[in-house]
Amino acid sequence: MRWMSDGIPHRVRTRWNSRHGLEYSAISDKYKSNSVMPTVYFTKSRWSNFFIGAILLAVMFVLNLAVGWILFGNFGALFATGLLVFSLLTFPSIASQAVMRSYGAREISLHEAPELWQLFQRLTAAAGIKHVVELFYLPSSVPNAFAFGTDSNAAVCVSDGILRMMTARELAGILAHELAHIKNRDTSFMSLALVIRRVNGLLARIGLLVLFFGLPSFLMGGGGRGLLWAGVLLMAAPFVALLLELALSRAREFNADLTAAEITRDPLGLASALQKIESAIRRGHWWQSEIDPRTILREPTWLRTHPGTDERIKRLREIQKQIPPDVKPLLANREIHVVADSPRRRKKVSQVLLGSWR
């Protein structure tokens, strides 16, 4: 595997790994994108996204307190807080390898796809991630990529469909987006939101059972109106918590797009990849469009885990306007070549892993 122009970064620390052989890490600081990007704009946008996420988590926590208070007053609020803390402390830590294998993915070795590995390691270094992030391959024609874990327990998975669909520039944007999730600890954010929502649902169910079995005494005591409002709030609380969790997920996606643009210095590469994925999804629903074109993507934005593609592309184009003309993309003036040891290996890499990746 070789890069046109300046080749492999000049200062690379290597170490032996029983699974991969030689791994590239700790690439020199000249590949870190934040040293050349307009940091004022990115810092302001990042803090804005952080505050949005913090506010959403705070609202979810307050909603938990409200449900607990409806149940048992002040003691119920303390009980809800204690249950939440207990759930966070006992929340299982799942290894990223186990998660990836549960999807049917397998780890990609350095020797199977050297050009893909080199691109991934360059992006990891540009993101400033110090630990090793493992790369997995999902044998699926559906264009998809996802990340899991933080710190030393992190992995990124790409599907066969997305490898065959994307150019090197577009794939760099996709991989940078997934690495941004790891860098920004989005898994931790969403795990916290998941625990809060589950605790909220548990408390709401307990409250509804208490109201159901205590209904006769409540009615005889003349508390029918208060009982009605309590029941409505307890039934609505899990749904509101779910909407807040989805809103948090969308906010983290915007933040990952921003960080990916900072890593690659090429927001339009990610925008092009998103447009391709959106087009592939629309083609997959061609039979629906023949019956009724309005059935395509009719799901409201507030019920999605990801923002609308058009809005994401619009924001990425706005980011591009903030980048000075003298800032070059991470993959500027570079071509990628696969160097295989034998015709058999070359066939395996091109047909099984990389497909028509250009």
| Beta-bridge partners for 338 | none
Question: Residue 246: how many CB atoms within 10 A of its CB?
Answer: 18
| Beta carbons of 53 and 61 less than 8 angstroms apart | no
Question: How far is it between the farthest Cα atoms of the chain?
Answer: 85
Strands 336-337 and 2-3: antiparallel
| Contact between residue 180 and residue 123 where contact means Cβ atoms under 8 Å apart | no
170 catalytically annotated: no
Query: To which residue do tokens 């797009």 refer?
Result: 257
In eight-state DSSP terms, residue 153 is E
Q: Is the dihedral of CA 29, 31, 34, 35 positive or negative?
A: positive
Please tell me which residue in 112, 178, 253, 262 is annotated as part of the active site.
178
The one-letter amino acid code at 24 reads Y
Tokens read off for 175: 């991989």
Cα gap 135→151, rounded to integer Å? 15
State both tokens at 202.
Answer: 């548990």
Q: Which two tokens stand for residue 326?
A: 């003298």
Let me know: does 346 contact 115? Beta carbons within 8 Å.
Answer: no
Tokens representing residue 24 in the block:
């590239």
At position 30, the amino acid (one-letter code) is: K
Token digits for 294?
Answer: 């309005």
Q: What does the block give as tokens for 69?
A: 């208070």
Q: Read out DSSP for 110-147?
A: TTT-HHHHHHHHHHHHHTT--S--EEEEE--SS--EEE
**Contact assessment for residue 170 and residue 279, using Cβ atoms and an 8 Å cutoff:** no
Which residues are marked as active site? 178
